[in-house]
Amino acid sequence: MPEKRILDAITSPADLSVLTDEDLAILAQEIRDEIVSTTSRTGGHVASSLGAVELILAAHSLLSCPRDRIVFDVGHQAYAHKLVTGRLKDFSTLRTYGGLSGFPKPDESVYDQHPSGHASDSLSVAYGLAKARDLAGRNEKVVAIIGDAALSGGMAFEALNQIGQSKTPMVIVLNDNEMSISHNVGAMVKHLGALRASQSYRQTRDNMQEIMEASGPFAKALLNLGRNMKDSVKFMALPHATIFEQLGILCTAPIDGHDIGLLREVLSVALATRAPVLVHVVTRKGEGYGPAVRDPETFHGIAPFDVMTGQVRKKPEAAPSYTSVFGGALVREARADSRIVAITAAMTGGTGLAPFSREFPQRFFDEGIAEEHVVGMASGLAKGGRKPVAAVYSTFLQRAVDQMIVDCCLPNLDVVFAIDRAGVVGEDGPTHHGVFDMVYCRMIPNMRMLAPSDEAELVHAVHTALAIGGPVAVRYPRGSAEGVLVPDEANLLPKEAQVLPVGKARVLREGSDVAVLAFGRMAYQALAAADLLADAGIDARVVDMRWVKPLDEEAIKAAAETRLVVTVEEGALVGGVGEGVLAVMARRGWAAPTLTLGIRDAFVGQGTPELLLRDLGLDAEGIAKSIAERLESE
């Protein structure tokens, strides 16, 4: 009989309050085993979740959630939270189609306060919850858990600014593991490093008397709030040593985030304090699982892996990823033009910029989780004579739409937006699908946008964007490309990159019954749909539109001469490019029956892209079926 685990007896976080520190340490190990074993099958955010186990257990053991509230930043570290809030039995479905989300999700559990996924929002959300509590005269506790890299996002700084001023009681747990996805960057990293180096908690405690004598106004305020002098001050950072304290937020000395007894001791004081308190917790990404400790970047977000070796169990891909083709194409462009510079918002590996960063370290900028700043900086670089390429995931670029409009497009600057993860991304789900970029790019004057249909087209698109000048966006999806480049070509790139004529589509297949105007990789689904339609006696033209903006009006006019104009886009239909085609037809007076296929006005769930595209009716069968039905109804 396998030994009964403490974890199996935890039905809600209330069960934690009766456990001793020793029990909680055992539970932490059981949770780690569960996380490793489950994610080895589902994939997931392993390293961050392993690093946050003790701090989550400590918080839940002291709080009464869901009355008290924990807001997770990004939420990729919250697996332990899921496991102690009644989701153990469903944990094996993590990140799968119809299963548990990889992030906190209010629809999934009353213990989840906020649909996490995008970085740096937790402090604002927690502050709002604390203010709502104050207005209602209630006294529940509010805790935000934020990583050292998420703290570098502008939104987090904006929140700190107000939290410090307002003095609203809330606890910020700063989970400092000295890592973003890769190494963390920026001056705040240095500040935190200095704090870690100069102030150990124990040293602070040992020097309590001295610190008391030198204590600043906040330590005094804390004492006045009725805490026992010893308890209150022993957790404090050295007076005035931290940026947080300068902003008006009480701050502890850095404490070991894997010592559950210490965490509980410090957190209990912070939670009892009637002022905002930042608890500086030092953790290690991947803690407890060797392969993740050794390679936290790979284990930040990993596909299914072998538990013994830590090796990813990936089938060999038939084609390179769009991301790697983009990265290779940009390196080749940069060799030919020294004005080209590349910028990322903490996603060097994810955006395929690692080769660029190695070859051109002086021309590469990782600006941390700071998408607004990245786009603003691109504007300055362009104005200063450089050709910046801002490579940002579609979903995260949503953060910087204002900077795209005002800082880049209004002055019509030469900025290339390399929009990766455009379309459905898969298991990360609704917070991460890149389905709005065509909407937000289309609406901005001066912006031009390409949606390459395969990896060869992507190479041409990058070349075109750099050649034509002005703000140009290139969108391409996550994962394997279409396999159109033969593997023995040097660098997997076409020999010559072409400048694509602006606003000109290309016909992939002639046909006279219906015309399918396809955007991006949907062109390949449309071609396969055309084969299916041919079996049913329907002759479909397939057009790779290439440009989302400007649209090829001649192609639209020709399409309007068939029995049905169909648009297919992997993006939101409301405000999307299909609507753009309809607007052209209306403006020009080209009347024809129309069918716009894309993502209806709803958020898309999680699952493999294949399953999601099937559900959305955006695979070949779905497209063919919609067209056949529409023709029948005419």
Ligand X SMILES: CC(=O)[C@@H](O)[C@H](O)COP(=O)(O)O
Ligand Y SMILES: Cc1ncc(C[n+]2csc(CCOP(=O)(O)OP(=O)(O)O)c2C)c(N)n1
Catalytic positions are 285, 371, 399
Asked if residue 254 lies in contact with residue 199, where contact means CB atoms within 8 angstroms, the answer is: yes
State the Cα–Cα distance between residues 295 and 54, nearest whole angstrom.
Answer: 21
Q: Select from 91-99, 259-267, 404-412, 420-428 the region that touches ligand X (CB under 6 A).
A: 420-428
Across 33-89, the runs of DSSP E, i.e. the strands, are: 69-72
Binding ligand Y (rule: CB under 6 A), the pick from 39, 48, 199, 379 is: 48
Binding Mg ion (rule: CB under 5 A), the pick from 13, 104, 147, 254 is: 147
CB of 75 to ligand X, least distance (A): 8
The interface partner of residue 150, options being ligand X, Mg ion, ligand Y, none and the CB cut-off 5 to 8 Å by kind, is ligand Y
Binding ligand Y (rule: CB under 6 A), the pick from 34, 54, 68, 148 is: 148
* SS3 state at 251: strand
Smaller CB distance to ligand X: residue 242 or 344?
Answer: 344
State the Cα–Cα distance between residues 451 and 422, nearest whole angstrom.
Answer: 9
State the Cα–Cα distance between residues 444 and 407, nearest whole angstrom.
Answer: 12
The interface partner of residue 425, options being ligand X, ligand Y, Mg ion, none and the CB cut-off 5 to 8 Å by kind, is ligand X
Q: Select from 102-110, 141-149, 445-453, 482-490 the region that touches ligand Y (CB under 6 A).
A: 141-149
Smaller CB distance to Mg ion: residue 188 or 208?
Answer: 188
Smaller CB distance to Mg ion: residue 99 or 102?
Answer: 102
Smaller CB distance to ligand X: residue 44 or 576?
Answer: 44
Smaller CB distance to ligand X: residue 45 or 475?
Answer: 45
Per CB under 6 A, 425 contacts ligand X: yes
Question: Over the Cα atoms of the chain, what is R_g?
Answer: 27
Binding Mg ion (rule: CB under 5 A), the pick from 179, 450, 542, 559 is: 179
Give me the sign of the Cα torsion angle 439, 440, 442, 443: positive
Smaller CB distance to ligand X: residue 45 or 141?
Answer: 45
State the Cα–Cα distance between residues 17 and 429, nearest whole angstrom.
Answer: 33
Binding ligand X (rule: CB under 6 A), the pick from 478, 541, 546, 549 is: 478
Angle, helices 260-272/21-42, rounded to nearest 10 degrees: 100
Per CB under 6 A, 275 contacts ligand Y: no
DSSP single-letter state for residue 183: B
State the Cα–Cα distance between residues 290 and 88, nearest whole angstrom.
Answer: 24
Q: Known binding site for Mg(2+): residues?
A: 148, 177
Q: Known binding site: residues?
A: 76, 117-119, 148-150, 177, 289, 371
Contact mark string toward ligand Y, 496..535, x via CB under 6 A: ----------------------------------------
How many residues line the site for ligand X (CB under 6 A)? Answer: 11
State the Cα–Cα distance between residues 357 and 341, nearest whole angstrom.
Answer: 10
User: Site residues for ligand Y, window 423-442 (CB under 6 A)?
Assistant: none
How many residues line the site for ligand Y (CB under 6 A)? Answer: 24
623 Cβ contact list (under 8 Å, min separation 6): 516, 525, 526, 529, 566, 568, 597, 617
Q: Determine the straight-line distance between the first and last CA of the chain, rounded to whole angstroms.
A: 66
Smaller CB distance to ligand Y: residue 38 or 177?
Answer: 177
Asked if residue 324 lies in contact with residue 61, where contact means CB atoms within 8 angstroms, the answer is: no
CB of 182 to ligand X, least distance (A): 11
User: Site residues for ligand X, window 146-185 (CB under 6 A)?
Assistant: 181
Asked if residue 58 lies in contact with residue 264, where contact means CB atoms within 8 angstroms, the answer is: yes
* SS3 state at 469: coil
* Side chain identity at residue 286, one-letter code: G
Q: Select from 20-28, 178-186, 462-470, 522-530 the region that touches Mg ion (CB under 5 A).
A: 178-186
DSSP single-letter state for residue 236: B
Smaller CB distance to ligand Y: residue 46 or 270?
Answer: 46
Contact mark string toward Mg ion, 89..128, x via CB under 5 A: ----------------------------------------
State the Cα–Cα distance between residues 353 and 330, nearest whole angstrom.
Answer: 8
State the Cα–Cα distance between residues 606 and 546, nearest whole angstrom.
Answer: 28
Which residue, chain included where needed, has tokens 């502050």? 127
* SS3 state at 71: strand
Q: Select from 327-335, 344-352, 571-579, 593-601 the region that touches ligand Y (CB under 6 A).
A: 344-352
The interface partner of residue 428, options being ligand X, Mg ion, ligand Y, none and the CB cut-off 5 to 8 Å by kind, is ligand X
State the Cα–Cα distance between residues 80 and 50, nearest whole angstrom.
Answer: 8
Asked if residue 522 lies in contact with residue 577, where contact means CB atoms within 8 angstroms, the answer is: no
Per CB under 6 A, 462 contacts ligand Y: no
Per CB under 6 A, 119 contacts ligand Y: yes
Per CB under 5 A, 177 contacts Mg ion: yes
- Alpha helices of 172-259 — where are they, by DSSP H? 187-198, 201-206, 208-214, 217-224, 229-233, 243-247
Binding ligand Y (rule: CB under 6 A), the pick from 250, 369, 408, 462 is: 369
Strand-strand pairing, 540-544 and 506-509? antiparallel
Instruction: Name the residue with the smallest CB distance to ligand Y.
Output: 147
Q: Concatenate the DSSP letters of all residues of 305-333 into one string.
A: B-TTT--B-PPPPSS-BHHHHHHHHHHHH
Q: In b/e form, how buried is each residue of 101-134, taking b as 16+ CB within 10 angstroms?
A: bbbbbeebbebbbbbbbbbbbbbbbbbebbeebe
Binding Mg ion (rule: CB under 5 A), the pick from 73, 112, 121, 148 is: 148
State the Cα–Cα distance between residues 327 and 331, nearest whole angstrom.
Answer: 6
Per CB under 6 A, 256 contacts ligand Y: no
Contact mark string toward ligand Y, 67..106, x via CB under 6 A: -------x-xx-----------------------------
Residue 589, CB-side half-sphere exposure with 13 Å CA sphere: 0
Smaller CB distance to Mg ion: residue 182 or 525?
Answer: 182
User: Site residues for ligand Y, window 569-588 (CB under 6 A)?
Assistant: none
Instruction: Tell the burial category of 537 from Cβ atoms under 10 Å away from its Cβ (0-12, 13-18, 19+).
Output: exposed
Per CB under 6 A, 544 contacts ligand Y: no
Per CB under 6 A, residues contacting ligand X are: 45, 74, 76, 181, 300-301, 350, 421, 425, 428, 478
Per CB under 5 A, residues contacting Mg ion are: 147-149, 177, 179
Per CB under 6 A, residues contacting ligand Y are: 48, 51, 74, 76-77, 118-119, 147-150, 175, 177, 179-181, 285, 345-347, 369, 371, 396, 399
